[in-house]
Amino acid sequence: MNKATKQISKLFAAMAMAGVASYSVAADTIKIGLAGPVTGAVAQYGEMQFVGAKMAIEQINKAGGVNGSMLEGVVYDDACDPKQAVAVANKIVNDEVKFVVGHLCSSSTQPASDIYEDEGILMISPASTSPDITSRGYELIFRTIGLDSLQGPTAGNYIADHVKPKNVAVLHDKQQYGEGIATAVKQTLESKGVKVSLFEGLNAGDKDFSAMISKLKQAGVDFVYYGGYHPELGLLLRQSSEKGLKVGFMGPEGVGNKEISAIAGPASEGMLVTLPKSFDQDPKNQALVAAFKAKNEDPTGPFVFPAYAAVQVIAEGIQKAGDTDTAKVAAALRANTFDTPTGALSFDAKGDLKDFSFVVYQWHQDGTKTEAPLN
């Protein structure tokens, strides 16, 4: 790219940013790349991540920035497409951005993280839960969310110990996230001697699950675990109740979204969900929740607070390291504990959170949730 086009693209970037929030573009800024889907089918989850990260940047800047420099968020759209994620990663290298909060989809995060690690860029993903991402011995790759392999056992144990069903169906949406969790749940259930009579994928984006429901009826299932996101489970709940299939349902944090009650209505009453502790319900986060609401933004999405925490951890890591050198910051991240709205975070050698616990919630038809009873 020559100088002229670079100038133009900077201009556009500035224009784009101006619409989002008023950043003080001082000479001395630390750029943070916010990478995730702005377009494409999962743009709504990308939005959660951007909302959280931008809020953190704004608040940190208001409080005086990091070591005297201001943070600047730059949004990069990968459309949740691995090919575009590589292009975005290379663009981030080009733009000399040293810190990245993203990406969202594990399949984008993985190829992008290869490049970040190689180029000395520190990346924190607030949303990618695939265990593979941090299992490769990388130094600069972190995440502020729990792993699939953590959530599965929590759900499986709860089903086996408290629901005690006779015959379980484990369904998933044939995507990295959903199938990963569903497999973990199935293994936990089987190890505890619970019968899993059906383990099957369905097509994300489908609207009609009547064939699947008939199959569940025939298999005589009395409990269904679904690994995936809320639109499909919402439809599954809705159509099950319409077709008279009365069984218990459970899902991971991807279904723990108010909209599932909008889709399923009364059928969502009593559904079980494993969620990270719901940060927006935490009394100590009320000021932050109010700040989101003041900007007319939704703080309830599962990735809003982890994204906020990711930015905060980067900022404090830079402060602790006293430098923006990413290797030093990474060392600081591993050495310290950070008090964030998602709790006190500390990272293990792989870059995963040391303890991140999931809680089983019971869902209600008005979109609220309470902790599930342990009987």
Partner 1 sequence: MSSAITKNLKIAFFSALLVLAVAYPVLGLKLTIVGIKLEVQGASSAALWAIAAGAIAMFFWQLFRSQLGTAWSHAPKLPRMPSQASDFLTQPSTQRWFILALVLVALSWPFFGSRGAVDIATLILIYVMLGLGLNIVIGLAGLLDLGYVGFYAVGAYSYALLSYYYGLGFWVCLPIAGLMAAFFGFILGFPVLRLRGDYLAIVTLGFGEIIRILLRNMTWLTGGPNGISNIDKPTLFGLSFERRAAEGMQTFHEFFGTAYQSINKVIFLYLIALLLVLITLFVINRLLRMPLGRAWEALREDEIACRALGMNPTVIKLSAFTLGATFAGFAGSFFAARQGLVTPESFTFIESATILAIVVLGGLGSQLGVILAAVVMILLPELMREFSEYRMLMFGALMVLMMIWRPQGLMPMQRPHLELKP
Partner 2 sequence: MPDLYHYLQQLVNGLTVGSTYALIAIGYTMVYGIIGMINFAHGEVYMIGSYITFIVIAGLAMFGINSLPILMIAAFAGSIIVCSAYGYSIERVAYRPLRGGNRLIPLISAIGMSIFLQNLVLLSQDSKDKAIPNPLPGNFVFGESTMNGVVISYIQVLIFVVTFLVMVGLTLFISRSRLGRACRASAEDLKMANLLGINTNNIIALTFVIGAALAAVAAVLLGMQYGVINPHLGFLAGIKAFTAAVLGGIGSIPGAVLGGLVLGVAEAFGADIFGDQYKDVVAFSLLVLVLLFRPTGILGRPEVEKV
Among 49, 144, 175, 278, binds partner 1 (CB under 8 A): 175
Residue 213 tokens read as: 């429901």
**According to the binding rule CB under 8 A, does residue 270 interact with partner 1?**
no
Residue 125 tokens read as: 């993903």
**According to the binding rule CB under 8 A, does residue 291 interact with partner 1?**
no
Among 2, 5, 22, 218, binds partner 2 (CB under 8 A): 218
In terms of Cα–Cα distance, which of 145, 143, 122 is closest to 134?
143
Residue 83 tokens read as: 């090919």
* Contacts to partner 2 from residues 251-310, by CB under 8 A: 259, 262-263, 265
**According to the binding rule CB under 8 A, does residue 214 interact with partner 2?**
yes
Q: Mind spelling out the 3-state secondary structure of 85-117?
A: HHHHHHHHHHCCCCEEECCCCHHHHHHHHHHHH
Q: Minimum CB separation from partner 1 for residue 114, in Å?
A: 6
Distances (CA, A) of 199 to 51, 223, 271: 36, 12, 19
**According to the binding rule CB under 8 A, does residue 325 interact with partner 1?**
no
234 or 343: whose CB is closer to partner 2?
Answer: 234
Distances (CA, A) of 80 to 127, 235, 307: 12, 24, 17
70 or 216: whose CB is closer to partner 2?
Answer: 216
245 binds, among partner 2, partner 1, none (CB under 5 to 8 A by kind): partner 2
176 binds, among partner 2, partner 1, none (CB under 5 to 8 A by kind): partner 1
Beta strands in the chain (DSSP E): 29-36, 70-77, 99-101, 122-125, 141-143, 167-172, 195-201, 223-227, 248-251, 272-276, 338-340, 343-345, 358-363, 369-371
Among 67, 153, 201, 241, binds partner 1 (CB under 8 A): 201
Residues that bind partner 1 (CB under 8 A): 1, 5, 9, 12-13, 16, 38-39, 75-77, 81-83, 86-87, 90-91, 93-95, 106-107, 110-111, 114, 118-119, 130, 132, 136, 174-176, 179-180, 201, 258-259, 261-262, 366-367
